[in-house]
Structure 1
Amino acid sequence: MSDTTVLTSLPQTHRLLTIMQALRDPVSGCPWDRKQTYDTIVPYTLEEAYEVADAIERGDFEELHGELGDLLFQVIFYAQIGQEEGRFDFESIAEKVSDKLVSRHPHVFGDKAFSTDEELKKHWEQQKHRERQGKDESNTSLLDDLPKHFPALSLAQKMQKRVGRHGFDWPEVSGVIDKLEEEIAELKQAIANNDQQNIEEEIGDLLFSCVNLSRHLKVDAEAALRKSARKFEARFRKLEDHLVQQNLTVDTATLEQLDEAWNAAKQLHK
């Protein structure tokens, strides 16, 4: 019986783990897979996670099916390296996340009850904070253990969400809007002063306030910006098509022609 035949007869999780072990085999494995490390795999993990998000946002569930498999393979890859180093394996990873889910859901796996969603969210954050402190006794800040390599918008929103759960927040969205307008005024002043360093700082503050507004309005800032970028792309492609019909390009059209083409593209996109 060939190795391929044996592989196809295995339960799928066992099959995937066996394939990963074969890819990393020091003698007969794939040269590329053998030389990978935790660090070198990270860019692929991020790419696969974004491809999952993209498939979901486009509603392409056939594509999502495949992308989830690619993302799972990333976990299997890390698990294999961890097993080789005697640190952890796939079973211990599954055990750890199972224990965590049970401890964070006492209302499902225990007899605790929450009367509101806010009580549930507060318990969730408190439990996570206790877990962070348990990992490292030096963890004393609510902002400890934040993923520093998050995309900036996601990191800002996660920071704001975490401190907001503990009362450091605007009670009403009007306060966030006032702060946004204040940041715009400060940016205008920095531009008037031609202060490039301050301009960068004020743009950062403005973006941070925009994220805060998104959070208050229950909008994911990262997802919202991706959707706007895709909307711009779709409209710009229609603008290019519109210009081609007039024997023009973006480079040869006047500002007035570009403006007219953009308005036409917006109507077509709607």
Structure 2
Amino acid sequence: MSDRPSSPTPLETLQQLIDVVARLRDPQEGCPWDRAQTPQTLIPYVIEEAYEVVDALRHGDKDAIADELGDLLLQVVLQAQIAKDQGQFDIAVIAQKITEKLIRRHPHVFSDFEAQTIDEVHQNWEQIKDTENPTEAQLSHKLKRYARSLPPLMAGMKISRKAAKAGFEWKTIDGVWDKFDEELAEFKHALDYESKENQQAELGDLLFTVINLARWAGLDPAEALQGTNERFIQRLMVMEEAANRPLSEYSLDELEAFWQQAKLKIASSVSAQEKTGKR
């Protein structure tokens, strides 16, 4: 028989995390920072950790994914501990609620309901959600929830899809392009003649139309913008490596030349990597 200690079970490691967080929140022996936190003060950390999980998933680094998921799990356990300290609920209630919800919304798995395709599963899921809370079944309530709880680009796409499904849709993409031209003209007019508040409103209308164009093209605007952000930073890094003084000391023409060189260098590097990968 092996005398090596057995690895802890998932439940044992989760309980260890729960115990550590409880110790951090202990009124006498805990950490001052952890004791001072409230559900509201932790909101920025919940958002930050969720985005860091997404970034790790995009890059496919298994160690980073496990690490970032741990940070996100900490936020769940910490929120649960604060709620327990306030006599509201604990992590067992959280786990029980999501377990019951999963069973209730998967009757094709846990009962005799039949759903053969992903579309059938999704449709049944939405119907069950509507019966759980009839008020939330109203389109306006659904869209309000998206606008309140999701990042703006993601919310815009969700709202666009749901509205289109309810009949708020153009017959062809040409109609969306006409709307884009209309909103662009209104935005330009607002910039020249209207208040900052109206300018902001017209910019929002223009962006929402771009989101609709993305939906028609089967594209994800949030992913598109994320890619642009990363490419911009990558090109800037190449520019800074090539420069012999701060970029602010170069003229606009010199910066443009650096920018074009950076684009070519990155494109060449990507092309070389693709050729190497094919061999």
Identity of aligned residues (%): 38
Name the counterpart of 1:202.
202
Contact 2:130 2:137 in 1 (8 A): no
2:273 maps to which residue?
none
C-alpha spacing 1:128/1:216, structure 2 compared with 1 (3 Å): farther
Rounded to whole Å, the distance in 2 between the matches of 1:138 and 1:260 is: 54
Counterpart amino acid of residue 107 in structure 1: H
Which string of whole-angstrom CA distances, capped at 9 and with x for unpartnered residues, describes residues 131-154 of structure 1?
3437x8999733343362532212
How does 1:9-20 map onto structure 2 within 5 Å? 11-20=12-21
Q: Secondary structure at the match of 2:145?
A: coil
**Does 2:235 correspond to 1:235?**
yes
**Scaled by the length of structure 2, what TM-score is found?**
0.81
Q: Assess if the C-alpha contact under 8 Å between 1:133 and 1:139 holds in 2.
A: no
* Corresponding position of 1:162: 162
* Residue equivalent to 2:189: 189
Aligned length: 259
Q: Does residue 265 of structure 2 align to residue 268 of structure 1? A: yes
Moved over 4 A (4+): 136-140
2:256 is matched with 259
Q: CA deviation at 1:122?
A: 2.8
CA distance in 2, matches of 1:45, 1:70: 9
Alpha-carbon distance in 2 for matches of 1:217, 1:159: 16
The aligned runs of 1:87-236 (5 Å cut-off) are: 87-114=88-115, 116-133=117-134, 141-146=141-146, 148-193=148-193, 196-236=196-236
Amino acid in structure 1 at the alignment position of 2:207: L
- TM-score, normalization: structure 1? 0.83
Give the CA deviation at 1:130: 3.0
- Spell out, residue by residue over 1:214-258, the C-alpha distance to the aligned partner (whole angstroms, 9 max, x if none): 3333433223212211111111121233333xxx54323233222
- The answer for unaligned runs of 5 or more in structure 1 is 1-7
Contact 1:133–1:140 (CA under 8 A) maintained in structure 2: no
C-alpha distance in 1 between matches for 2:82 and 2:72? 16
Asked if structure 2 preserves the Cα contact closer than 8 Å seen for 1:125 and 1:162, the reply is no
Which residue number corresponds to residue 81 of structure 1? 82
Contact residue 102 and residue 109 of structure 1 kept, 8 A? yes
Contact 1:177 1:213 in 2 (8 A): yes
Gapped regions of structure 2 (runs ≥ 5):
1-7, 268-279
Aligned-pair distance for 1:192?
Answer: 4.5
The answer for the alignment partner of 1:50 in structure 2 is: 51
Distance 2:263 2:26 in 1: 55
Partner-residue secondary structure (3-state), 1:168:
coil
The amino acid that maps onto 1:183 is E
Q: Which moved more, 1:147-156 or 1:56-65?
A: 147-156
Whether the 8 Å contact between 1:132 and 1:145 is mirrored in structure 2 is no
The alpha carbon displacement at 1:172 in A equals 4.2
One-letter amino acid matched to 1:85: Q
Q: What is the RMSD computed on CA atoms of the aligned residues? A: 2.8
Q: CA deviation at 1:44?
A: 1.0
In the alignment, the residues of structure 1 paired with residue 151 and residue 60 of structure 2 have an alpha-carbon distance, to the nearest angstrom, of 23
